[in-house]
Amino acid sequence: MKEFFKYALATVCGIIALGIVAGIIMMISFAGIVASGNATTEIKENSVLVFKLNGTVNERTEEGTPFDALLGTADMSSMGLDDILAAIKKAKNNEDIKGIYIEGGATVFDSPATAQQVRDALEDFKKSGKWIIAYADQYLQASYYVASVADSLFINKTGMIDFKGMGGKGYYMTGLYEKVGVKYQCTRVGKYKSAVESVTRKDMSDNDREQRLAMYQGIWQHWLKQMAASRKVTAEQLNKVADDSIMVFANINDYKTAKLIDGAMYPDAIKNIIKDKLGLDEDDDINQVTMSEMLNVPEDEKEDGGKIAIYYAYGEIVDQPLSGFASEHAIVGSEVVEDLKKLADDDDIKAVVMRVNSPGGSAIASEQIWHAIKLLKEKKPIVVSMGGYAASGGYMISAPANYIIAEPTTVTGSIGIFGLIPNASELVTEKLGVTWDGVQTNKHTDYETNLVFGKDNEEELRFLQTYVDRGYDTFLSIVAEGRGMTKEQVHEIAQGRVWLATDALPIKLVDKIGSLNDAVKKAAELADCSEYYTAPYPGKSSWFDQLLAATNDSKGTYLDQQLKETLGELYEPVIELRKDCQRNRLQARFPFATTIK
């Protein structure tokens, strides 16, 4: 027996020792991966930057994991617009980068303006005298729009281009909710405030049709003008192609006839074209630099002059994070208020550029952020740079700025308020047989339960409408004060109406059409800084923080992912009901999504 315990103890000690040694080896390996991921990149002479147009492009991407570079996923899945623009700018200024090779064409952009900013950055790259070549097996429309900036554009011999114009049908869930005994109760101000219509109507209202058509036509015409200039055709010719594209392109050569491409070939042939551009022999290797590697190229940026903070505010505006949606970035009211207070108290920061890319959300959180921006403005200039959209609550937090600059295809306005509460009395009482009874000390003690489960709740709805009316009046006052207008003038262009930035300019909702760089220059001017440098805020979440957040909400995130995979395009309308249960009753939110492929 003694021998048994002796050997058993030795075995246990051996396992523990092996575990310790293995742990040490893993830590050393992990440290090596982290170090290699953070290492600076040295660009070889005669190199080409490879820009993979696959995955999604959002306003900003959090820090990746140390394994991304090792596994080759650093340029895939999700790309931040800020990083893309920075990499292209570095490539333009690096004499060893001779050109850009755009590969692939299946990217999803979070808004038309995001695609437009990437294209504009590539157009600026060409001003350095360098070349751009694009190739893909197939092009989604937004990816083609971006890739059309290339000097030469090619496609696989069996490929296709999605080129059909802009628009689409929205979903209306009212019929479904009627079948299950749920009815959405709506209180709103603004005839164009159509965010409620997907659950209160079975078709599109005339007002919503009017604003959507104006928005998409404006964006499409802007895109046509840019694509036509690059492809050396007229906008009218391209528009005709979009009308006929489904019927016309039976043969791959039809794309070339329409001047959408310069040629069709297999992937091996495109490498020879790039080699010719670089002056390489057929057997030579191409020095390729990825976007993530380009970001690690050191710059000679000097921190001289005044510091201009660029504060990124993107996503839905919420009172607190919506549980189960860890992958969706949000503007959390209390967190942003605290961040803005720190920026106001930091004497090193001379001005702030607030990069707003938000459809709005909670009216209360939006108003809290508006107040924090006003306090910040008392200490230093603040300029708003609008991204894909700065609408509804997104416009509310923009209004108090000293100056507002928007991208040409930014969607803004949507100045209006609504309240939306599902009533499940028919489902619960008539279909499921659940009844309600109780006591209360006052007439409306139980008004919240009555709104959701009661049939006779007209008085409660009138109260909610009064609350919405008050919120709209506050919204008008905020815009009037910030933009130097009267409330009556604001009301004329408000009522929930969505405006494209080029249309918002003459009605004084924005001050200038321009980029984030233009906003930085304006902020420096207002702060009297002849020399300046920029710093992004807030800091990006580390991969470890993201891992912890995902772990804390792993159940909700996993179920969310499974729903996406199962429901596909039906995911968004179904999940809205779940989100509505967590949202604030008073909403200043954009009426529809503008994600494009």
3-state secondary structure 341-383: HHHHHCCCEEEEEEEEEECEEEHHHHHHHHHHHHHHHCCCCEE
Separation CA 290–CA 287 (nearest Å):
10
Q: Distance between CA atoms of 215 and 120, rounded to whole angstroms?
A: 20
What amino acid is encoded at 283 in this protein? D
The DSSP output letter for 527 is: T
Helix, strand, or coil here: 81? helix
Element (H, E) at 102: strand 97-109
Cβ 136 vs Cβ 155: under 8 Å: yes
Calpha distance 463→433 (Å, rounded):
29
Sheet holding 183-189: strands in order across? 183-189, 417-423, 586-589, 360-362, 316-318, 330-332
CB 172 within 8 A of CB 202: yes
**What Å distances lie between residue 386 and 27, 87, 213, 456, 505, CA to CA?**
43, 21, 21, 44, 13
Is the C-alpha dihedral spanning 249, 251, 253, 257 positive or negative?
Answer: negative
Q: Is 444 exposed, middle or buried (0-12, 13-18, 19+ CB in 10 A)?
A: exposed
Q: Where are the alpha helices (DSSP H) in 263-409?
A: 267-278, 291-295, 333-345, 363-377, 393-396
Q: Which residues are catalytic?
A: 193, 392
Residue 394 vs residues 218, 313, 387: alpha-carbon distances, Å? 21, 9, 10
Cβ 181 vs Cβ 431: under 8 Å: yes
**Residue 497 in tokens:** 């109406």
SS3 335: helix
Q: What is the 3-state secondary structure (H, E, C) of 446-487?
A: CHHHHHHHCCCCHHHHHHHHHHHHHHHHHHHHHHHHHHCCCH
